[in-house]
């Protein structure tokens, strides 16, 4: 592990992947390696800011800490990022002979930590989200920061006073935060609180005792290595099921075409199944899910795992990327799953596991068929309803293989 929180303690095992226990800090590390923005949600006093502080320690002076306040405007934010920006805003282009680009090039933050992000007014938040994504916008022009690696880490409680409707805020967060960890449902063990007391009784956020060397080069290297990690075909199929399979209703109708009223259109036996509980994830979310799953595989591999279970790491990633992303049917989460979106995700994951188990044999045969550039009705006709995407995929792949074979044949 690259990152081990110094003060924040949480030894609750979230899942066991490939024989390796995964804890909340493991998920945080996976997010950092995958360069995924992370939002920590949950009740006051449960260590969210503490975890952020602990993570910041690994970024040395390349971490910017911003406390979200509703009386902060973008000017003040610019002032915090780099005082020279204010001049730039006033003067337009040049600053004492330097161009704006020269100034922004020096803004070398790799981690933007925003405590209590929901308190920020929308204009400030928009700028913060840009920083999370690796650039700053001045006078309508984007300037890159952080030399190729920047990540956002933010916190917030649900009961916070919002400066706008929580809906609007929710939408903004869902778009820009790639995974959400709700510490209320990922509660530490009693022994963790016991250890916290052994450490000290200061109720403030603790600054780590030892000043660590910053690990930015290692983090960047881990990120580059992860980007080069081949994505197994199985993961792509699982991911496409999450995008296309979960988007299906009976009679080949699509939830996405029914817009926000999709859950009122689920009828008959589908009403009691995962069809009513979740809609398909977006292609953007799919990228985050696969990235997180790849990071989890890599971390468990480094801890000795040999046989990687792609399905399970994909499901863990799906759970933490999608529980708060707006794909779940909120009314059902409230009524049936004790307002716990992770519990609802577990139900979806159980069904997904059954679905893949039932199709296991056909999936193997289908892949073999596509590899040979063949289309056998006997095999592809097994993919119907929510699995129709697989039939289309296999046929397209078979066509491609055939074309490649022909092109090859001509050359030879």
Ligand X SMILES: Nc1ncnc2c1ncn2[C@@H]1O[C@H](COP(=O)(O)OP(=O)(O)OP(=O)(O)O)[C@@H](O)[C@H]1O
**At a CB cut-off of 8 Å and minimum separation 6, what does 134 contact?**
144, 145, 146, 148, 149, 150
Nearer to Mg ion, 67 or 95 (CB): 67
Nearer to Mg ion, 46 or 311 (CB): 46
325 binds Mg ion (CB under 5 A): no
Task: State CA 292 to chain mean position distance.
Answer: 7
Nearer to Mg ion, 37 or 313 (CB): 37
Interactions with ligand X, residue window 35-74 (CB under 6 A): 44-50
Least CB distance to ligand X at residue 127 (A): 22
Identify the helix (H) or strand (E) that includes residue 126: helix 122-132
Least CB distance to ligand X at residue 113 (A): 12
Do residues 29 and 58 lie in contact, with contact meaning Cβ atoms separated by under 8 Å? no
Interactions with ligand X, residue window 132-171 (CB under 6 A): 155, 157
**At a CB cut-off of 8 Å and minimum separation 6, what does 120 contact?**
68, 69, 70, 72, 114, 128, 163
- 263 interface partner picked from ligand X, Mg ion, none, CB below 5 to 8 A per type: none
Count the residues of the shown chain that bind ligand X, applying the rule CB under 6 A. 21
Nearer to Mg ion, 50 or 291 (CB): 50
In the complex, residue closest to Mg ion by CB: 49
Neighbours of 128 (CB within 10 A): 23
192 binds ligand X (CB under 6 A): yes
188 binds ligand X (CB under 6 A): yes
Q: Specify burial of residue 388 (Cβ count, 10 A radius: 0-12, 13-18, 19+).
A: middle
49 binds Mg ion (CB under 5 A): yes
Nearer to Mg ion, 49 or 352 (CB): 49
Nearer to ligand X, 93 or 204 (CB): 204
Least CB distance to Mg ion at residue 89 (A): 30
Nearer to ligand X, 46 or 262 (CB): 46
18 binds Mg ion (CB under 5 A): no
Question: Which one of 79-87, 195-203, 211-219, 277-285 is the stretch in contact with ligand X (CB under 6 A)?
Answer: 195-203
Cα separation, 266 vs 134, in Å, equals 41
Of the candidates 67, 121, 126, 205, which one interacts with ligand X according to CB under 6 A? Answer: 205
316 binds Mg ion (CB under 5 A): no
Task: State CA 142 to chain mean position distance.
Answer: 24
Least CB distance to Mg ion at residue 9 (A): 16
DSSP per-residue codes, 127-196: HHHHHHTTEEEETTEEEE-GGG--EEEEEE-TTSPPSS-HHHHHHHHHHH-SEEEETTSSPPPHHHHHHH
- 203 interface partner picked from Mg ion, ligand X, none, CB below 5 to 8 A per type: ligand X
Least CB distance to ligand X at residue 252 (A): 46
- 9 interface partner picked from Mg ion, ligand X, none, CB below 5 to 8 A per type: ligand X
Of the candidates 3, 6, 8, 107, which one interacts with ligand X according to CB under 6 A? Answer: 8
Tokens standing for 356? 């893949």
Nearer to Mg ion, 49 or 119 (CB): 49
Name residue 40's beta-bridge partners.
155, 181
Q: Which of 249, 229, 245 is nearest to 237 (CA)?
A: 245
Q: Give the single-character DSSP code of 214.
A: P
Q: Specify burial of residue 210 (Cβ count, 10 A radius: 0-12, 13-18, 19+).
A: exposed
Residues binding Mg ion (CB under 5 A): 49
Residues binding ligand X (CB under 6 A): 7-10, 44-50, 155, 157, 188, 192, 196, 202-206
């Amino acid at each position: 592990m690259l990152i081990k929180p110094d003060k924040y303690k949480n030894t609750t095992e979230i899942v066991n992947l490939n024989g390796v226990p995964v804890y909340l800090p493991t998920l945080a590390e996976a997010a950092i390696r995958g360069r995924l923005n992370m939002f920590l949600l949950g009740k006051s006093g449960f260590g969210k800011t503490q975890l952020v502080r602990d993570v910041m320690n690994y970024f040395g002076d390349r971490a910017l800490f911003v406390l979200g306040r509703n009386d902060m405007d973008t000017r003040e934010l610019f002032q915090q990022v780099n005082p020279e920006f204010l001049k730039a805003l006033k003067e337009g282009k040049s600053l004492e002979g330097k161009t704006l680009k020269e100034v922004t090039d020096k803004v070398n933050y790799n981690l933007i930590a925003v405590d209590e992000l929901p308190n920020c007014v929308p204009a400030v938040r928009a700028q913060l989200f840009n920083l999370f994504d690796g650039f700053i916008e001045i006078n309508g022009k984007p300037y890159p920061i952080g030399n190729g690696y920047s990540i956002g880490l933010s916190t917030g409680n649900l009961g916070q006073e919002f400066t706008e409707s929580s809906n609007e805020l929710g939408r903004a967060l869902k778009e820009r935060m790639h995974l959400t960890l709700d510490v209320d449902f990922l509660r530490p063990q009693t022994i963790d609180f016991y250890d916290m007391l052994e450490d000290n009784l200061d109720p403030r956020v603790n600054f780590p005792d030892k000043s660590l060397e910053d690990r930015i080069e290692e983090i960047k290297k881990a990120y580059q290595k992860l980007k080069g990690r081949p994505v197994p075909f199985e993961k792509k199929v699982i991911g496409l099921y999450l995008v296309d399979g979960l988007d299906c209703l009976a009679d080949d109708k699509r939830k996405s075409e029914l817009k926000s009223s999709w859950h009122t259109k689920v009828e008959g036996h589908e009403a009691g199944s995962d069809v009513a509980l979740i809609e398909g994830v977006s292609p953007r979310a799919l990228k985050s899910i696969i990235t997180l799953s790849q990071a989890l595989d890599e971390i468990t591999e480094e801890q000795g795992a040999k046989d990687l279970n792609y399905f399970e790491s994909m499901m863990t990633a799906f759970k933490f990327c999608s529980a708060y992303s707006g794909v779940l049917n909120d009314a059902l989460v409230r009524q049936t799953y004790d307002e716990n979106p992770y519990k609802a995700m577990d139900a979806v994951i159980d069904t997904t596991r059954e679905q893949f188990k039932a199709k296991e044999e056909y999936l193997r045969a289908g892949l073999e068929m596509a590899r040979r550039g063949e289309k056998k009705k006997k095999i592809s006709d097994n993919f119907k309803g929510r699995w129709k995407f697989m039939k289309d995929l296999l046929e397209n792949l078979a066509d491609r293989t055939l074309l490649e074979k022909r092109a090859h044949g001509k050359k030879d």
